[in-house]
Structure 1
Amino acid sequence: MLLERINISIDLGFTIFRLGKENPCIALISGITYDDGCGVATLRNVVDKLKSLTLRGSVIVVPHVNELDLDVENNRYSGSLFNLLIKRFSEVLPSNCLVIELRCASGFEPHIVIDKASTDNSVKNVLEAIPIKYIVMSNTSNTAKILRERGFNVITIVFGGGKEFSLDDVEQYVQVILDFLGNLNIIKRRVKQVQHEYLDRYHVIKCHSRGIFVPSIARGSEVSAKDLIGSLDGAEVTSPVDGVVLYVSSPRLCNIGDVICVIGAKSKGTP
């Protein structure tokens, strides 16, 4: 294993772990935002697991690319610095490396996100190796956009942790990554695959008034249009689409505009 420190200024940079050699090449990256604590912990544990294994190919890992917790979404200056970090990351990757971006969203069902324009066969082959059921076709993150513009294929995995997370969840996510590498035959491991279900887009349901929201379904449930999601101060909240519940809020005092449910919507005609 090679450990390398990449800096673009005195206090701005990231640590990169290089394991194995030659092809295929998979890069794993997390720590994009402050909420990606579970991703940082997952990839640090993955590095520890891989150090003692023989790899048939190469795995490049950056557990925490945004070490200074730059506000990449709301601050233009911080966002521009972060973009420099991602561009520098792309410069130290082999050109044939496929990038897996780990993001965390507290309370979400684990799922994969790919850009609707991702039709490359190499992306499809790698998708088949990821043992996570749901794949959402959606616009991906700015990180993925920058890397695609520089010629890299990118797949985003969303795990259900956040800046606070369960160690049991992290261990589960580590096993998902190891199963994925095993399915690609990069490490020796029993093949574990799942039947994927493609979802057309995210559909976000928000509170239309202030009140107490009480859910009536669980994360991972399949819903049809007009199915009950929960209640807001006694009034029914229903799903406007067919799909899968990727997130539903716990009972809460809800302000106008707060997200209470995210549904992975199915295309019309999808069973």
Structure 2
Amino acid sequence: MLNKKNVLLGQTILPGKGMLLNLDIAKLHTGTKIEVPIIVQRGKNPGPVLLITGGIHGNEINGVEIIRKLISKKYNRPDYGTVICIPVVNIFGFLNQSRQFPDGRDLNRVFPGSPRGSLASRFAYHLMKEIAPKVDYCIDYHTGAESRFNAPQTRINKDDEQCMELAKVFGAPFVVLAKTREKSFREALAKMGKKVLLFEGGKSLDINNQITKMGISGALRVMDHLGMRNFKGELKLMEARSPHPVTIESSQWIRAKYSGMFHPSISLGSKVSKGDLLGNISDPFGNFERRVNALNDGHIICINQSPIVNQGDAIFHVAQD
């Protein structure tokens, strides 16, 4: 929760007011400041503090687009509590269309950071010191890496009943019970007792309209559920949430046995049975064409959309039933 004076980064946020802040913690070798814009909106009434983040990986653009629309449509303005939006956490990775921080490190693998560590580690430290203690809940938006297109899914820790409730409220078709990655933002927040929903959908360097709509409606449902603002009117005009999301406890990647041109023939989110045809791999000269079959029963939660794959590349992610 914000303190009694509602101070964030040294600035007082008054009831019913908003403020644009900058988290300024380091400079590049050119002297350029690393400033990360933070949009804060406080309701007129007390309530929970929700942090909404995107772009921890700088090339995961769809999360940035979701938060941009939440702000542009003024959905981030609560009646109760406070909403803190950080559309682009890794601002320099975003500028370079790169997953990594400027020092080459994955920002999502250095939390909680260190004041004397690498550039990414120092930034993580200040984020955890200045922002994280103020919040109660977090929605963190991600996409699949490279050409891997993820089906819309929320990821939570197993046996966390409150996060499971929030995941069902969010309404994505899949809920993945995934252990937190070591030194990830989600792990660091969870250790502080914060409730975190990690949303995965789409692929990097891409904006998908369906994924964007689902990310927006999910955030509105969570805010409505937490009593921060009544969005029932807006949600009636949006796509309905998945009434019975599929809960996933285990999954398996299918990897290419051959290098060649990749032709998936199954739709994302489809339920498949062991042995079902998922696609094929062919050489560019018409000499061979090899089937790719399902190795087990389950749902397709990610498809590699690269037209050319190498032997060993991950091509289908199958959630096991």
Partner of 1:57: 81
Q: In structure 2, give the amino acid aligned to 1:104.
A: T
| 2:56 counterpart (23, 32, 35) | 32
SS state of the match for residue 162, structure 2? helix
| Secondary structure of 2:22's aligned partner | strand
Paired residue for 1:231? 280
Q: Equivalent residue for 2:141?
A: 102
Aligned-pair CA distance for 1:38:
1.2
Partner Cα separation in structure 2 for residue 208 and residue 90 of structure 1: 43
Q: Give the superposition deviation at 1:243.
A: 1.5
Larger mean Cα displacement after TM superposition, 187-196 or 7-16: 187-196
Match of 1:127 among 167, 175, 179: 167
* Residues 75 and 14 of structure 1: CA distance in aligned 2, closer, same or farther (over 3 Å): same
Q: Which moved more, 1:183-192 or 1:254-263?
A: 183-192
Matched residue, 1:136: 176
Instruction: Please give the alpha-carbon distance, in whole angstroms, between the structure 2 residues aligned to 1:152 and 1:14.
Output: 22
Structure 1 pair 132–77 and aligned structure 2 pair: CA distance change class (3 A): closer
Whether 2:133 is the aligned partner of 1:84: answer no
Query: Displacement of 1:163 after TM fit?
Result: 1.7
Mark the CA change 1:50 to 1:94 in structure 2 (over 3 Å): closer, same or farther. Answer: farther
Q: What does 1:178-193 align with in structure 2 at a 5 Å threshold?
A: 178-190=220-232, 193=241
Could you tell which deviates more after superposition, 35-44 or 246-255? 246-255
Question: How far 1:51 sits from its partner (Å)?
Answer: 6.1
| Counterpart AA for 1:218 | S
> What's the Cα RMSD here?
2.8
Q: Higher RCO, 1 or 2 (CA under 8 Å, sep at least 6)?
A: 1
Q: Which amino acid aligns with 1:202?
A: S
Q: Deviations over 1:218-258 (max 9, x none)?
A: 11100122222122233221222221111223472321122
Check if 1:48 corresponds to 2:77.
Answer: no
Match of 2:24 in 1: 7
1:263 match: 318
How far apart, in 2, do the equivalents of 1:52 and 1:67 lie?
20
TM-score normalised by the chain length of structure 2: 0.72
Q: CA deviation at 1:5?
A: 0.9
CA contact 1:87–1:146 (8 Å) conserved in 2: no
Q: Secondary structure at the match of 2:197?
A: strand
Which runs of no fewer than 5 residues in structure 1 stay unpaired? 267-271
Structure-2 change in CA distance of 1:50 and 1:201 (3 Å): farther
Note the residue ranges of structure 2 that are not aligned, 5 or more in a row. 1-17, 28-32, 94-98, 111-117, 283-288
Structure 2 Cα separation of the partners of residues 153 and 143 of structure 1: 12
Q: CA separation of 1:162/1:133 partners in 2, compared to 1, >3 Å: closer, same or farther?
A: same
Larger radius of gyration: 2
8 A contact 1:206–1:261 mirrored in 2: yes
Q: CA deviation at 1:64?
A: 0.6
Contact 1:133 1:196 in 2 (8 A): yes
After superposition, the Cα gap between the structure-2 partners of 1:212 and 1:30, relative to the gap in structure 1 and judged at 3 Å, is: same
CA change 1:171–1:223 in 2 (3 A) is: closer
Q: Is the 8 A contact 1:13 1:65 kept in 2?
A: no
Work out whether 1:204 is the aligned partner of 2:253: yes
Q: Classify the secondary structure of the residue corresponding to 1:124.
A: helix
2:315 maps to amino acid = I
Q: CA deviation at 1:61?
A: 1.0
User: Using the alignment, how far apart are the partners of 1:108 and 1:127 within structure 2?
Assistant: 17
Contact between 2:300 and 2:316, CA under 8 Å: does it hold in 1? yes
Deviation at 1:167, TM superposition (A): 5.3
CA separation of 1:202/1:55 partners in 2, compared to 1, >3 Å: closer, same or farther?
A: farther
Deviations 1:186-238 (A, max 9, x none): 22122654322101133111112212332221111001222221222332212
Q: 1:169 to 1:31 in 2, by over 3 A?
A: same
Query: How does the TM-score come out when normalised to structure 1?
Result: 0.84
* CA distance 1:87–1:23, shift in 2 (3 Å): farther
Aligned mate of 2:267, from 208, 215, 218: 218
What is the rounded CA distance, in whole Å, between the counterparts of 2:81 and 2:155 in structure 1? 24
Matched residue SS, 1:57:
strand
Relative to structure 1, is the Cα distance of residues 65 and 110 closer, same or farther in structure 2, using a 3 angstrom cutoff?
same
Displacement, 1:6? 1.2
* Matched positions, count: 264
1:77: how far off?
8.8
